[in-house]
Amino acid sequence: MAKTGRRADGFDVIVVGAGPAGTAAAYTLAKAGIKVALIERGVYPGAKNVMGGVMYSQPVGAIIPNFWDEAPLERHIIEQQYMMLSADSAISGKHRSTQYAVQPHNRYTVLRAKFDAWFAGQADAAGAYLLTNTVVTDPIIDNGRVIGVSTDRPDGDLYANVLIVADGVNSIIAEKLGLRGVIDTVNMALAVKEIISLPRGKIEDRFNLEGDEGATIDIYGEVARGMEATGFIYTNKDSLSVGLGVILKDLVKSGLTPYELLDEMKNHPTVKPLLAGGEPREYLAHMIPEGGYRAMPKLYSDGVLIAGDAAMMVNGFHREGSNLAMTSGKLAAETAIEAIAHQEFSARAMSAYETKLNNSFVLKDLRKYKNLPGFISSRPQFFNVYPQIINDAATEFLTVDSVSKKQKQWKIWRQIVRGRRPVRKLLRDIYEGWRAFG
Amino acid sequence: MTEHVTESTIEYKDVWIFVEQESGQINPVAFELLGEGRRLADDLGQKLAAVILGEAIDKLAGDIFARGADKVIIVDDPVLKDYRTYPYCAALVELSEKYHPQVLLMGATILGRDLASAVATEMRTGLTADCTELGIDPETKLLTQTRPAFGGNVMATILCKQVRPQMSTVRPRVFKLPPADCDRAGELINETMALSEDEVPTKVLEFTAHTSHSNVEIETADVIVAGGRGLGGEEGFELLKKLADALGGEVAASRPPVEMGWVTSDRQIGQTGKTVRPKLYVAVGISGAVQHAVGMQGSDIIVAINKDPEAPIFKLATYGIVGNLFEVVPALIEALAGVVRTSGDLSCETVENDG
Amino acid sequence: MNIVVCVKQVPDTTQVRIHAETNTLIREGIPSIVNPYDVHAVEAAVAVKESVGGHVTAITMGPPQAREALKETISLGADDAVLISDRAFAGSDTLATGYILSEAIRKLHGESPIDLIICGKQSIDGDTAQVGPGIAQRLGFTQLTYVIKIREIDVPARRIVVERQLERGHQVVEGQLPALLTVVKEMNEVRYAPLPNLIKAAKYEPRLFDLESLGLDRSLIGLKGSPTTVRRIFAPAPRAGGEIIADGSKTAAEAAALLIEKLQAEKLL
């Protein structure tokens, strides 16, 4: 006991939040023989968690090898479709590869309530203390160093040498620690989702799938009346996950409810037939961090590390969040393991976490795209002008009538240039967009 | 007590009804069971017998014959004055071991459930609780006992193939009250009990009746009148109470009135409230959103009163009235005042003869 | 006071459905919970222990995953827990279940005499309310059902006084110990357990009683020991479509009269 410096009634590490980041951390710690408490406010892990639904297998596999044998997964994805909507039309492109058909499959759709419960169960079986239905209300700080947390339960204080904060996009603990300020509404999206029951056979027919194969559709353009938003349709075993996310600032300004917008998207002429015959069986909503690298809080301090959505680790353009969360959780755990071995919990010791993140795709990717969120937010034309232009151009191009092709070309060009977007602005958007991609 | 064994050499016959009584008042569920029991006995080609336990209860036999019993077995003893598990169980088991009934039915009242479980265990026989349907299988002559399970999401038909008696409890008002034939007579058997007061491990000390608003258990009400946002306030619920009283039911609510404080939370029905399955559910000013529907869609008859013809509640309702509830509800209350009720005096004794 | 609480792990019944074609229960993905009435029973037992001192043991009969239910009883304040599990118990009806549970309690009684057994009034999946009284009868414990309050416990005098919730009011009954109580929800508010209890529960391993350790008679358990059998299960008939008996065109009085006619036809008035 003297070796770990742990209090008799305390833990080595406390992890707040049993989502992908927190559970990945707790699992890694438990497997290393560290005494870890994983505290979750939901009645069971997953009860309060929502995502569109795509789980990337690599980071999960790095934590639990061959997880696909036991984990509750919906379908493995063999087809990715991108759809760009305008008010009355859509352009889409699909990608499929036989490479995706081979195990280990790269991507799976999951339902968070099932997956998270299973994942946390793995951490529990590995030795982590899973404490559910408990809210962590405050950090306990002594001489500037975090030494534990207070919870809403009677006798609810718990002590540990390291605190891993993984309590999600609205992290109260990160805020109370002063590591995170109030998040600007331009850096958050409100996402709403419906799970629509549809028999397996219908899903497989409609999306051209066999067995447990799945397809994902990401929807861009005029998804939500031209506001900064994206939508999705993902196939589960016997249901579809359908939803959209709108940047909070835009949504608040519009005075609309997200469900109204979701209904409109669902009724889009290209989207509607994909959902035909389905019965909505569940409604969910959640906030998503959208600010990227520039909106991230401080990632560590004395005795504390922040992981996952609490650290705003979402790569919105690539639709990646859970993989960043799990990887950051794993790296936070590794940092804690080293800190415990050296009995050193200062900010300096904790800084190894950021180093590890910098050396991994997590911060590398987030840094690469650091200008993208700002760029997109300042260019509403990507949502309310270009989609229409491109769709109109395509419609004109594909309409066979008595207009000569050369005339058509001019017509399209004139529409773009005179009507909506002067050439120089168009060129600048293209150039700056390319730069924003890092 | 010796281990009860159903022997193949014994002939088990007759349908028995346990007649529950309290202070000389027979619980109407017993009459309902006699009505059903008559049908079962006829299907079996056997007799219908009733067992009644208590003190100073011999005058009740007439009413029991009137509802169809061929035999009435009475045990009249001071030990049996108030219901207690031990003496009632002992008496019923002793009688059963003596007469070997095929079937034994009881009301699924609090008393009935307390007693039936004890008796069935003592006799090592099968008991099916809360049956909604009973029958005699034409081939096997077994009692088919059908009941809801998993909160009513599933129905199950149960058999008790080898052990006797086959026991079931049935909730009040599942079966209809049979007409009373006050001229009917039958065989009256007086039995005695050897049990003494010292052997009984419990004593009833006192009983306090409920006042109308305390301890609402809307889950057991047969009639529920529920209000929603449309009621507008506490006054709306006072109006609803009048309708509930006129129908002999309880007031309940969907979530918004509870949140606004117009009604207490023990009356809330729905996903975050209670689930009810009354015979009659009147939804007043309730839209019928799925969160409320899950709490009441198992009701037998649903009546909806709402001014919005598109309200989802009308898809659930057996009978719907599109209209202003503040006009319809008072009209209903007024119309109900003139209605003659079928319940009332169930006894054959006339007012003059009542001592 | 030595107290045993009986709990059951049940599926969350609001979500159980029947598969329309195969007539089998669809239980996949439905979360399991501790029978709500049993949670109140644990709370009641812990309250008794806090008032007169003693020990609370929670027991459950179920498959191995039922140990999750026992963990919850530990977090609520039970001192220890016993899992009664064996494949041979599967298919037991209420009579056989009562036999198995009472033999388990008999074994515990042999280790340390039991004064009080507390059960929930019924389970939300079976809804029969039979097992509690069944145990009382087999063990010769005083049976007190529908208890809403424990007024008095006098351990040396072997006396308990309870209030029972009847249809028309409350009844106060005095009974001899040892007794078995079945309790209603209104008995108490379940406490928000202290954190140390949760931590203890997180890694708690219950004792295991199986067929062999209880020395049970095989003919009295499982399907063999169950006098009742399920002949078939089916989905209840779906609601028949309704009729709008009065749209906006009728007066309130006309609508009321029509409704009363319908209710009389349904014999509801």
CA C162 to CA B118: how far, in whole Å?
19
Residue A38 has what DSSP assignment? Answer: E
Which of B121, B158, B322 lies at the smallest CB-CB distance from C98? B121
Residue owning tokens 């508010």: C189
| Domain count along chain B | 2
Residues 6+ apart with CB under 8 A from B345: none
Question: How distant is the Cα of C67 from the closest Cα of chain B, in angstroms?
Answer: 22
Residue of C nearest to B303 (CA): C259
Backbone angle region of A168, left / alpha / beta, with phi > 0 → left and psi within -120 to 50 → alpha: left
Bond before C178 cis per omega within 30 degrees: yes
**Of 3.50.50.60, 3.90.1150.10, 3.40.640.10, 1.10.357.10, which CATH number belongs to A11-73+110-181+297-359?**
3.50.50.60
Which of A114, A130, A158 lies at the smallest CB-CB distance from C195? A158
Question: How distant is the Cα of C31 from the closest Cα of chain A, in angstroms?
Answer: 10
Any domain includes B209: no
CA A34 to CA A240: how far, in whole Å?
40
Residue C162: CATH number of its domain: 3.40.50.620
Query: At A433, is the secondary structure helix, strand, or coil?
Result: helix
What secondary structure, in 3-state letters, does chain C show? CEEEEEECEEECHHHCEECCCCCCEECCCCCEEECHHHHHHHHHHHHHHHHHCCEEEEEEECCHHHHHHHHHHHHHCCCEEEEECCHHHCCCCHHHHHHHHHHHHHHHHHHCCCCEEEEECCCCCCCCCCHHHHHHHHHCCEEEEEEEEEEEEECCCCEEEEEEECCCEEEEEEEECCEEEEECHHHCCCCCCCHHHHHHHHCCCCEEECHHHHCCCHHHCCCCCCCEEEEEEECCCCCCCCEEEECCCCCHHHHHHHHHHHHHHCCCC
Contact assessment for residue C164 and residue C187, using Cβ atoms and an 8 Å cutoff:
no
Q: What does the pLDDT read at residue A281?
A: 82
CA A427 to CA B3: how far, in whole Å?
95
The whole-angstrom distance between residue B54's C-alpha and the CA centroid of its chain comes to: 20
Strands C80-84 and C55-61: parallel
Q: Do C214 and C247 reside in the same domain of the chain? A: no
CA C80 to CA C67: how far, in whole Å?
12
**Run of H or E including A289:** strand A279-289
Q: What are the residue ranges in chain B where pLDDT is below 50?
A: 1-2, 351-355
Any domain includes B117: yes
Locate the domains of chain A by residue range.
11-73+110-181+297-359, 186-289, 379-436
Q: Where are the alpha helices (DSSP H) in B159-285?
A: 234-247, 255-259
| Domain count along chain C | 2
Q: Do B31 and B161 reside in the same domain of the chain? A: yes
Which of C29, C31, C203 lies at the smallest CB-CB distance from A129? C203
**Run of H or E including A349:** helix A347-350
- Could you tell me the two tokens for B81? 């004055």
In C, which residues are within 8 Å of A158 by CB distance? 195
Q: Do C108 and C188 reside in the same domain of the chain? A: yes
Q: Could A134 and C195 be called an inter-chain contact, meaning their C-beta atoms sit closer than 8 Å? A: yes
Beta strands in chain B (DSSP E): 15-19, 21-22, 25-26, 48-54, 71-76, 103-107, 127-131, 133-136, 143-149, 154-160, 166-170, 187-191, 202-209, 223-227, 250-253, 280-284, 301-306, 319-322
Q: Could C195 and A156 be called an inter-chain contact, meaning their C-beta atoms sit closer than 8 Å? A: yes
Q: Do C57 and C126 reside in the same domain of the chain? A: yes
Mean pLDDT confidence for A51-65: 89
Question: How distant is the Cα of C99 from the closest Cα of chain A, in angstroms?
Answer: 33
CA B33 to CA B18: how far, in whole Å?
9
CA A303 to CA A346: how far, in whole Å?
6
> Looking at chain C from residue 177 to 216, which residues have their Cβ under 8 Å from any Cβ of chain B?
186
Which of C29, C194, C203 lies at the smallest CB-CB distance from A153? C194
**Per-residue pLDDT tens digits for A84-120:** 998 888 999 999 988 888 888 999 999 998 999 999 9
Question: How distant is the Cα of C193 from the closest Cα of chain A, in angstroms?
Answer: 7
Contact assessment for residue B34 and residue B64, using Cβ atoms and an 8 Å cutoff:
yes
Contact assessment for residue B51 and residue B14, using Cβ atoms and an 8 Å cutoff:
no
Q: Do C163 and C254 reside in the same domain of the chain? A: no
Any domain includes B348: no
CA B122 to CA C99: how far, in whole Å?
11
pTM for the model:
0.85
Any domain includes B342: no
Question: How distant is the Cα of A126 from the closest Cα of chain C, in angstroms?
Answer: 11
Number of C-beta neighbours around residue A183 at 10 A: 20
Q: Could B127 and C128 be called an inter-chain contact, meaning their C-beta atoms sit closer than 8 Å? A: yes
Q: What does the pLDDT read at residue A45?
A: 92
Residue to substitute from A41, A114, A131, A238, interface C, most C β-carbons within 10 A = A131
Q: Do B191 and B222 reside in the same domain of the chain? A: no
Q: Could B110 and C166 be called an inter-chain contact, meaning their C-beta atoms sit closer than 8 Å? A: yes
- Could you tell me the two tokens for A84? 């760009």
Any domain includes B344: no
Confidence of residue A395 (pLDDT cuts 50, 70, 90): confident
Any domain includes B285: yes
C265 Cβ under 8 Å from any chain B Cβ: no
Q: Do B105 and B225 reside in the same domain of the chain? A: no
DSSP-assigned states of every residue in B201-231 = -EEEEEEEEPPTTSS--GGG-SEEEEE-GGG
Q: Could A153 and C29 be called an inter-chain contact, meaning their C-beta atoms sit closer than 8 Å? A: no
Any domain includes C174: yes
User: How many angstroms separate the Cα of A373 from the Cα of each of A88, A221, A322, A367?
Assistant: 27, 15, 18, 11
CA A169 to CA A181: how far, in whole Å?
12
What domain range is B236 assigned to?
218-337
Mean pLDDT confidence for A180-192: 88
CA A307 to CA A111: how far, in whole Å?
21
Partner chains of A (3+ C-beta pairs under 8 Å): C
The closest alpha carbon to A14, from A336, A280, A288, A232, belongs to A336
Q: Do C211 and C250 reside in the same domain of the chain? A: no
**Per-residue pLDDT tens digits for A286-332:** 999 998 898 899 999 999 999 999 999 998 888 899 999 999 999 99
The closest alpha carbon to C145, from C159, C130, C158, belongs to C130
Contact assessment for residue B124 and residue B163, using Cβ atoms and an 8 Å cutoff:
yes
Strands B21-22 and B15-19: unpaired
Q: Do C36 and C93 reside in the same domain of the chain? A: yes
Any domain includes B207: no
Q: What does the pLDDT read at residue B52?
A: 97
Question: How distant is the Cα of C229 from the closest Cα of chain B, in angstroms?
Answer: 5
Number of C-beta neighbours around residue B133 at 10 A: 14
A44 Cβ under 8 Å from any chain C Cβ: yes
More confident residue, B18 or A370: B18
Strands C159-165 and C169-176: antiparallel
User: How many angstroms separate the Cα of A17 from the Cα of each of A14, A20, A57, A182, C75?
Assistant: 10, 9, 21, 20, 20
Q: Do B95 and B187 reside in the same domain of the chain? A: yes
Q: Do B31 and B170 reside in the same domain of the chain? A: yes
Q: Could A155 and C195 be called an inter-chain contact, meaning their C-beta atoms sit closer than 8 Å? A: yes
In A, which residues are within 8 Å of C12 by CB distance? none
Q: Which residues pair with B204 in a beta bridge?
A: C173
Q: Do B45 and B180 reside in the same domain of the chain? A: yes
In C, which residues are within 8 Å of A154 by CB distance? 192-195
Q: Do C92 and C199 reside in the same domain of the chain? A: yes
Contact assessment for residue A130 and residue A101, using Cβ atoms and an 8 Å cutoff:
no
In B, which residues are within 8 Å of C247 by CB distance? 309, 322
Residue B273: CATH number of its domain: 3.40.50.1220
Going residue by residue through chain C, which has 269 residues, state the pLDDT in tens, using 9 for 90 and above: 999 999 999 887 656 666 655 556 666 667 788 999 999 999 999 999 999 999 999 999 999 999 999 999 999 999 999 999 999 999 899 999 999 999 999 999 999 999 999 999 988 877 788 999 999 999 999 999 999 999 999 999 999 999 999 988 899 999 999 999 999 989 999 999 999 999 999 999 999 999 999 999 999 999 999 999 999 988 877 666 678 888 878 888 899 999 998 888 887 77
Q: Do B42 and B130 reside in the same domain of the chain? A: yes
Q: Do B139 and B167 reside in the same domain of the chain? A: yes
Q: Could C198 and A157 be called an inter-chain contact, meaning their C-beta atoms sit closer than 8 Å? A: no
Bond before A104 cis per omega within 30 degrees: yes
- Could you tell me the two tokens for A175? 């805020």
Q: What's the whole-number average pLDDT of chain A?
A: 90
User: How many angstroms separate the Cα of C255 from the Cα of each of A23, B301, C264?
Assistant: 60, 17, 14
**Run of H or E including A129:** strand A129-131
Query: At A301, is the secondary structure helix, strand, or coil?
Result: strand
Q: Do C65 and C110 reside in the same domain of the chain? A: yes
Q: Could B151 and C264 be called an inter-chain contact, meaning their C-beta atoms sit closer than 8 Å? A: no
CA B39 to CA A391: how far, in whole Å?
75
Q: Do C46 and C110 reside in the same domain of the chain? A: yes
Q: What does the pLDDT read at residue C127?
A: 76
The closest alpha carbon to A59, from A397, A353, A322, belongs to A322
Q: Do B262 and B128 reside in the same domain of the chain? A: no
Contact assessment for residue A57 and residue A66, using Cβ atoms and an 8 Å cutoff:
no
C256 Cβ under 8 Å from any chain B Cβ: yes
CA C264 to CA B280: how far, in whole Å?
12
Residue owning tokens 């013809």: B309
Residue B92: CATH number of its domain: 3.40.50.620
Q: Do C173 and C246 reside in the same domain of the chain? A: no
Its ipTM equals 0.89
Q: Do B74 and B127 reside in the same domain of the chain? A: yes
Could you give the maximum distance between any two Cα atoms of chain C, in Å?
76
Sort A34 into a burial class: Cβ within 10 Å, 0-12 / 13-18 / 19+.
Answer: buried
CA A65 to CA A20: how far, in whole Å?
16
Partner chains of B (3+ C-beta pairs under 8 Å): C
User: How many angstroms separate the Cα of C63 from the Cα of each of B340, C70, C88?
Assistant: 55, 12, 11
Q: Where are the alpha helices (DSSP H) in A181-257?
A: 200-206, 248-254
Q: What does the pLDDT read at residue B343?
A: 53
Bond before B165 cis per omega within 30 degrees: yes
Q: Do C204 and C170 reside in the same domain of the chain? A: yes
Q: Do B52 and B176 reside in the same domain of the chain? A: yes
Helices B325-337 + B234-247 axis angle, to 10: 30
CATH architecture of A186-289: 2-Layer Sandwich (3.30)
CA dihedral sign of residues C181, C182, C187, C188 = positive
Q: What does the pLDDT read at residue C15?
A: 63
**Run of H or E including A363:** helix A361-368
User: How many angstroms separate the Cα of C207 from the Cα of each of A198, B1, C71, C104, C204?
Assistant: 44, 32, 12, 11, 10
The closest alpha carbon to B296, from B173, B152, B155, belongs to B152
Any domain includes B193: yes
Q: What does the pLDDT read at residue B212?
A: 58
Mean pLDDT confidence for A348-359: 96
Q: Do C147 and C82 reside in the same domain of the chain? A: yes
Residue of C nearest to B3 (CA): C138
What domain range is C250 assigned to?
240-269
Q: What does the pLDDT read at residue B345?
A: 62
CA B126 to CA A123: how far, in whole Å?
45
Q: Do B174 and B236 reside in the same domain of the chain? A: no
**Per-residue pLDDT tens digits for A266-282:** 999 999 999 999 988 88
The closest alpha carbon to A21, from A244, A353, A250, A344, belongs to A353
Any domain includes C235: no
Res A400 pLDDT > 70 = yes
